Amino acid sequence: MPYIPHTPDDIQAMLDTIGVAQLDDLFSEIPAALRCGQLDDLPPGLPELEISQLMQQRAAQDAGALCFIGAGAYQHHIPAAVWELATRGEYYSAYTPYQAEASQGTLQLLYEYQSMMVNLTAMEASNASLYDGATALAEAVLMAVRANRQHQSKRILMPVAVNPAYQAVVRSIVHNQGIELVPVPYDPASGQTMLDACIAAKGADDFAALVIAQPNFFGVLEEVDALTDWAQAQRALVIAQVNPLALAILEAPGHWGQAGVDIVCGEGQPLGIPLSYGGPYFGFLCCKKIHVRQMPGRIVGRTLDLEGRPGYTLTLQAREQHIRRSKATSNICTNQGLMVTAATIHLALLGASGLERTALACHAQTSELVEKLCAIPGVHLVFSSARFHEAVLRFDTPVAPLLRALAAHNILGGYDLSAHYPELGAAILVCATELRNSADIDKYAEHLRRILVKTGVCPVPPKL
């Protein structure tokens, strides 16, 4: 039904009923310093026709752009069947399926999703999604603090090479709960989080968990076995923050080290979700069975009814509606169910071999991209370690003008790292997925060479 706002008379009648003079009095307990005040920079409201035209114009600005940006959001091929099915009326709702007898289709789909995720991560349990990869990591940190029975530490070793946006979200969510995020520096030569750095960051104090990103924000592959075994020897849990596509060709976190990690989380966007101006995406969270009662979000279980037929239902509902609020794991409910539906269809269509071929193609295209760009004078590969489908490149000139010049040619050349990693100098993070072919890479390299020639960084090529 259409939205019908309350009239001034309606509002005044409600205020009179509860004995309040004005709406602002309802928020009097909020300190003035915390109130945002007027939103002066917002433009005036537009009618439907004009806002539709504006959004079409904005969308057209991205048409045909060659994207070489990753940094946590990736442009992959999505089979047409994925969203043709996901947007059917039977699926086009993410509402929590409380009424099991009327929601068997939705519940079965979520159960199949969980089964796929535990197979992909080699873990024992999965929830039915979180809001996005950043909040999934935050929930994993909270979960690790609750689940670690060895000691009461609230220290988390957080590598600097974890996605900086994820770090910021985690810090915002956990800092008021007394949880300390201890930064672990990366090795400037390899880009890896080294064991010696973890030992130094730990110091003499206990810590609840170590976060390991695989690959890390730079696209570099970490020495996951050594890090996992060391952390668990310190009576800490291990949180793996992973790219699900990379798991098609890399060792699953459940097999890292001697005993596997305790919790796996990440962003599900590479599994059939378009970029879409930043969302909606979905976060995934898997764990060992021993920790499942500390897992937030929905968990779907499979059972048999009295006649022996399979049935599905929500289980372990440790939410604030069901138990004492102080004992709840979270209040995450509906979250991104539609995105999970699309991801389940996407995984079913590709299968294990299709996912592996996609990951290998991404790796091959990135290798070609790095080779051709680094052949240009003034462009250098920063880290020496093995990588997945991203790499850090350093330039002999500021990168912001370079990226603007490339954008003028409809090429999104990479992610400027100067704001988060100034120590890297004039560096960008580049990415190539299976959608970028040799012609795309050649176009990027040719335009970059011309731009660097104009800036004087690259020598003028001889005339033929």
pLDDT band at 325 (very low <50, low <70, confident <90, very high): low
Give the separation between CA 142 and CA 155, rounded to whole angstroms.
11
H or E stretch covering 158: strand 155-159
SS3 370: helix
Between the alpha carbon of residue 353 and those of residues 76, 181, 350, 362, the distances in Å are 16, 38, 7, 14
Q: Which residue has the tokens 């590598």?
A: 159
Instruction: Give the Å distances, CA to CA, from 133 to 34, 37, 244, 276, 406.
Output: 28, 31, 11, 16, 29
More reliable by pLDDT, 58 or 270:
270
Is the pLDDT at 458 greater than 80, yes or no? no
pLDDT over 90 (residue 428) = yes
CA–CA dist 214, 225 (Å, integer): 11
Whole-angstrom Cα distance, residue 300 to residue 312? Answer: 7
Q: Which amino acid is at 22?
A: Q
Position 461 scores a pLDDT of 65
pLDDT for the residue 322? 65
> Which segment of 70-79, 89-98, 184-193, 212-221 scores lowest on mean pLDDT?
89-98
Distance, in Å, from the CA atom of 128 to the CA atom of 200, rounded to the nearest integer, reads 37
pLDDT band, very low/low/confident/very high, at 412 (cuts 50, 70, 90): very high
> Given a cut of 80, is residue 31 above it in pLDDT?
yes
Burial (CB < 10 A; 0-12, 13-18, 19+), residue 187, is: middle
Average pLDDT (155-184) is 97
CB 393 within 8 A of CB 430: yes
Determine the pLDDT at residue 4: 67
| β-pair partners for 156 | 181, 209
Give all strands of the β-sheet with 379-381 in edge-to-edge order: 379-381, 390-395, 427-431, 415-416
How do the residues of the chain divide into helix, strand and coil, expressed in percent and rounded to 5? Answer: 40, 15, 45
Rg (CA), the chain: 25
What is the model's pLDDT at position 64? 81
Domains assigned to the chain = 67-72+351-455 (3.90.1150.10), 80-345 (3.40.640.10)
SS3 category, 212 = strand
Cα-flanking dihedrals φ and ψ of residue 278, to 5°? Answer: 100, 10
pLDDT at residue 320 above 60? no
Collapsing DSSP to helix, strand or coil, 255 comes out as: helix
Q: What is the pLDDT of residue 334?
A: 67
- pTM for the whole thing? 0.89
Cα–Cα distance for residue pair 69/278, rounded to 1 Å: 13
In percent, how much of the chain has pLDDT > 90?
A: 74
> pLDDT digit string (tens) for 79-92?
999 999 999 887 88
Q: Tell me what pLDDT residue 40 has.
A: 81
What six digits make up the tokens of 404? 């603007």
Quote the pLDDT of residue 333. 66
Distance CA 311, CA 436 (A): 43
- Scanning 234-295, the segments in alpha helix (DSSP H) are none
